[in-house]
Amino acid sequence: MIVPKPVTYEPRPGPFILDGRTSLTADPALAGVAAWLRGELAPLTGGELLPGPGSGTIRLGLGDLPPEGYRLTVGPGEAEIVAGGPAGAFYGAQTFRQLLPPAAFRRAAAGPFEASGAYVEDAPRFAWRGCLLDVARHFMTKHEVLRFIDLLALHKLNVLHLHLTDDQGWRVEIRRHPRLTETGSWRRESQSGWNGAMDGRPHGGYYTQDDIREIVAYAARRHVMVVPEIDLPGHTQAAIAAYPELGNLGTPLEVRTTWGVGVNVLNAEEPTIAFFQEVLEEVLELFPGPYVSIGGDECRKDQWRESPSARRRMEELGLRDEEELQSWIVHRFDDWLSARGRRLLGWDEILEGGPPPGAVVASWRGDLGAVIAAERGHDVVNCANTSLYLDYRQAEGEEEPVPFGPVLTLEDVYAFEPVPEALRGRPAADRVLGAQCGVWTELIDSARRVDYMAFPRLAAFAETVWSPEGRDLADFSERLAAHLPRLDAIGVEYRRAEGPAPWQ
Ligand code: TNX
């Protein structure tokens, strides 16, 4: 009863007993995975796993398999994981945990526990198995982010796209420009619903650079890459509130308190470009991964149209319209990132005016952007809001806490196909690196509500990116029924089909 569904699974005679006399041995190349697994299993055995022979042995070894692939054989006295590399061993270990009873996911659990016998061969369908977390609209503490990373890893997802900046908050310390967090990380109050009343409560928070390093390292140990997003040139009101010279008005603004697409955007002057390159310099130090998102979405052009200095700038650059200006900005950051060996990730708006050649497109408005980008030779991550926006409510009904967006049921998410229909069977289909679900948090004001919105839909999403094609809803439902008690044991307050919501 493994989630996401592995390529093959066969029951075998068991069980394997996990107790105080269980040992763990690993190929030196897998020492990191072994250390993580010891940490997960030690509380279950009442102590450390023995380094040498025990009554039962967990063995981690390397074999001729893809880097993320593994073979897991569990029977009396031995649980063996053979993997193509550390990531594969990690996924094998995650699957092994799922052979234990749900109670083994409780932090306070005390064994012995029995793992059922099994033979599993497995490898992911897609390389990019992501989830976006918007910590800009509502801040989540470092501890809550670390817990979320564990939940992603449990579902064999490997990308956490951290949306760190927006109109309503700037969440990462930048040493060179301290007001970004001093001013930009707090707002006076927040709007309660999409069009709702103001709540009168100040909201804020940010990650220090040490916090970020800790998050990135924690994620890396769980084979999750953290992709930072510094959204520009739209979605920048918090930055402009901190440094008004970045904007088009020259007058002070406050950190935004309402939702929706704002009019306040960056100007395209050289000092503004330089400012954000200085920001990105620090971001690159903190996030060693190959991808950096500059957002690029939903940039309203009103101020560029109306401001004489923006018009002058366009003339100076020989640009015909505001769309070309937006594209010019994106290219400036692409040149800068490419020169530093990184790849720009941007929302599908970067297709307007022609995206830079090496850019990766995060296609969010349905999957049309994914089709266009892939046909033009761009790598694409399918983030279709029509299937994968977990901030959208999951049922009709007044009891849903976040009545936003179209209804996106668990079944809708499960039916999502990362390769758009129009690309099927065509060479451009290979450009689809994978897919990514998103937890935007305008209306999700606590980690508890993130749990409710993300789960169990995230488990369904995981199958769309990990498991082989040919999914079967009935089969998933049966495995999900076995999976939910694991989430219960962890303390995840997911949406229960039978209700009520945890707070009702
Ligand atoms: C669109 S997805 C946005 C976000 C919102 C989200 C709400 C994207 C690139 N932009 O700023 O939070 O919709 O669902």
pLDDT in tens, 163-192: 999 999 999 999 999 999 999 999 999 999
Among residues 122, 144, 167, the one where a domain terminates is: 122
Q: How far is the CA of 490 from the centre of ligand 1 (A)?
A: 29
* CATH code assigned at 229: 3.20.20.80
For residue 294, what are the domain limits? 128-490
* Residue whose token pair is 């977990």: 390
Residue nearest to atom 6 of ligand 1 (CA): 440
Nearest CA to 458 out of 150, 37, 146 is that of 150
Q: How far is the CA of 360 from the centre of ligand 1 (A)?
A: 18
Nearest CA to 400 out of 484, 503, 477, 481 is that of 503
Q: How far is the CA of 296 from the centre of ligand 1 (A)?
A: 11
H helix intervals, 222-296: 237-242, 270-286
pLDDT at position 53 = 60
Is 500 within a domain? no
pLDDT at position 52 = 63
The amino acid that residue 493 corresponds to is: E
The active-site residue out of 214, 269, 298, 375 is 298
Same domain, 402 and 346: yes
pLDDT at position 353 = 87
- Residues with Cβ < 8 Å from 229, sequence gap 6 or more? 132, 161, 162, 163, 164, 165, 293, 294, 295, 345
pLDDT at position 113 = 93
Q: Cα separation of 129 and 155, whole Å? A: 10
Q: How many domains does the chain have?
A: 2
Query: 298: Cβ below 6 Å to ligand 1?
Result: yes
Is 337 within a domain? yes
DSSP 8-state assignment for residue 403: -
Same domain, 292 and 351: yes
Same domain, 325 and 373: yes
Q: How far is the CA of 419 from the centre of ligand 1 (A)?
A: 21
> What is the pLDDT of the chain when averaged over all its residues?
96
In this prediction, the residues of the chain whose per-residue pLDDT falls under 70 are 50-54
Same domain, 66 and 214: no
Residue nearest to atom 14 of ligand 1 (CA): 440
Q: Annotated catalytic, 478?
A: no
Same domain, 100 and 168: no
For residue 143, give Cα distances in angstroms to 52, 139, 212, 221, 502: 34, 12, 11, 16, 21
Which residue of 298, 351, 393, 443 sits with most ligand 1 atoms within 8 Å of its CB, as the best mutation to test the pocket?
298
Atom of ligand 1 nearest to the CA of 295: 9
φ/ψ of 436, rounded to 5, equals: -150, 130
Is 328 within a domain? yes
Atom of ligand 1 nearest to the CA of 298: 10
Q: How far is the CA of 249 from the centre of ligand 1 (A)?
A: 25
Residue nearest to atom 5 of ligand 1 (CA): 440
Sign of the Cα torsion 315, 317, 321, 325 reads: negative
Same domain, 108 and 148: no
Contact criterion met (CB below 8 Å) for 114 and 420: no
Atom of ligand 1 nearest to the CA of 297: 9
Among residues 76, 105, 122, the one where a domain terminates is: 122
pLDDT at position 51 = 67
Verify cis geometry, omega within 30 degrees of 0, for the bond prior to 500. yes
Is 498 within a domain? no
For residue 309, give Cα distances in angstroms to 245, 275, 303, 320: 12, 18, 10, 15
Q: How far is the CA of 156 from the centre of ligand 1 (A)?
A: 25
Residue nearest to atom 12 of ligand 1 (CA): 440
Same domain, 36 and 168: no
Atom of ligand 1 nearest to the CA of 392: 14
Rounded-to-10 torsion of CA 404, 410, 412, 413: 90
Helical packing angle, 209-221 and 270-286, nearest 10°: 50
> ipTM for the complex?
0.96
Residue nearest to atom 13 of ligand 1 (CA): 440
- Report pLDDT digits (tens) over 431-483: 999 999 999 999 999 999 999 999 999 999 999 999 999 999 999 999 999 99
Query: 442: Cβ below 6 Å to ligand 1?
Result: yes
Which helix (H) or strand (E) segment holds residue 99: the answer is helix 86-99
Atom of ligand 1 nearest to the CA of 347: 9
* CATH code assigned at 94: 3.30.379.10
Is 495 within a domain? no
Query: Three-state SS for 279?
Result: helix
Q: How far is the CA of 181 from the centre of ligand 1 (A)?
A: 22
Is 472 within a domain? yes
Residue nearest to atom 7 of ligand 1 (CA): 440
Query: 440: Cβ below 6 Å to ligand 1?
Result: yes
Which residue of 133, 261, 297 sits with most ligand 1 atoms within 8 Å of its CB, as the best mutation to test the pocket?
297
Is 499 within a domain? no
Same domain, 214 and 286: yes
Is 275 within a domain? yes
Query: 347: Cβ below 6 Å to ligand 1?
Result: yes
Query: 391: Cβ below 6 Å to ligand 1?
Result: yes
For residue 294, give Cα distances in angstroms to 6, 168, 273, 328, 401: 34, 17, 12, 13, 31
Same domain, 438 and 468: yes
Query: Three-state SS for 75?
Result: strand
Query: 364: Cβ below 6 Å to ligand 1?
Result: yes
Structure tokens at 21: 């006399």
Same domain, 139 and 88: no
Same domain, 100 and 202: no
* Residue whose token pair is 């760190």: 164
Q: How far is the CA of 365 from the centre of ligand 1 (A)?
A: 9
Same domain, 68 and 211: no
Residue nearest to atom 2 of ligand 1 (CA): 364
Q: How far is the CA of 369 from the centre of ligand 1 (A)?
A: 15
Among residues 122, 145, 172, the one where a domain terminates is: 122
User: For the purposes of burial, counting CB atoms within 10 Å of the CB of 461, is it exposed (0-12), middle (13-18) or buried (19 or more)?
Assistant: buried
